[in-house]
Amino acid sequence: MISIIDYGMGNLRSVEKALQSLGYNAEITSDPEKVLKSDRAVLPGVGAFGDCYAGLETSGLKEAVLGFIKTGKPMLGICVGMQLMFEKSLEFGEHNGLGIFKGTVKKFPDSMIEQGMKIPQIGWNQIDKKFEHPLLDGITTGDYFYFVHSYCVKAEEQGVEALSCSYGVNFTAMVVRDNVAATQFHPEKSQKLGISLLKNFGEWKC
């Protein structure tokens, strides 16, 4: 069973429908015990980083997420769910993250607006594939995924950035280490390639 973690912040139903369309038993849950007992877990996120982190804490799901990761079972973060995996964010102040990966979430530079670019980035953008991984089967450099974000992060560790992307600045589009992976883009909104990534996640033996 795949738990889609409901802490009050996320486009949960679209993720659930995408996984169910692949034949997986996926269920939205806010029950920490169900999360810990599941075979795989997905941490989505929509909204401000601080609000999302507070939602995790007040719901009791922060410890469930950390406990699940320690089990070694596959975990996937999506959008703000990826940002939460990092050390901290500078969105509306400074907020601590879960610290699974090293790096700081920062806003796209305001100078981009002067160059005629829009913040947030909303829409399709190309990725650069950094290394081969079972989650990336069928995905190559130049493929497009769907992004919606005003803040981004550049992973500070070597060997964890699986995909990168450029929008005014170069940023991390996907990280993976051991049993934890996370994407800045929305695979559930990225049509065929996004569904392919979710299928790979459902089959991932880490």
Share of the chain above pLDDT 70, in %: 100
**Contact between residue 108 and residue 37 where contact means Cβ atoms under 8 Å apart:** no
Q: From CA 195, how far away is CA 206, in angstroms rounded?
A: 19
Q: Which of 168, 88, 165, 178 is nearest to 133 (CA)?
A: 178
From 16, 52, 149, 186, active-site residue: 186
Output the pLDDT for position 11: 73
Q: Give me the chain's average pLDDT, please.
A: 96
Output the pLDDT for position 193: 97
Helix (H, G, I), strand (E, B) or coil at 178: coil
Strands (DSSP E) found in 68-179: 75-78, 86-89, 95-96, 101-107, 121-129, 144-149, 151-153, 161-167, 169-177
Tell me, which fold does domain 2-203 have in CATH? Rossmann fold (3.40.50)
| Averaged pLDDT, 77-84 | 97
From 16, 91, 161, 188, active-site residue: 188
- Tell me the sheet residues that pair with 5: 29
188 assigned to active site? yes
From 16, 52, 79, 165, active-site residue: 79
| Averaged pLDDT, 102-121 | 94
Output the pLDDT for position 47: 86
Q: What is the dihedral of CA 68, 69, 72, 76, to 10 degrees?
A: 100
**Contact between residue 108 and residue 119 where contact means Cβ atoms under 8 Å apart:** yes
Q: Is the pLDDT of residue 54 over 80?
A: yes
- Would you say the pTM of this structure is higher than 0.85? yes
Output the pLDDT for position 4: 97
206 assigned to active site? no
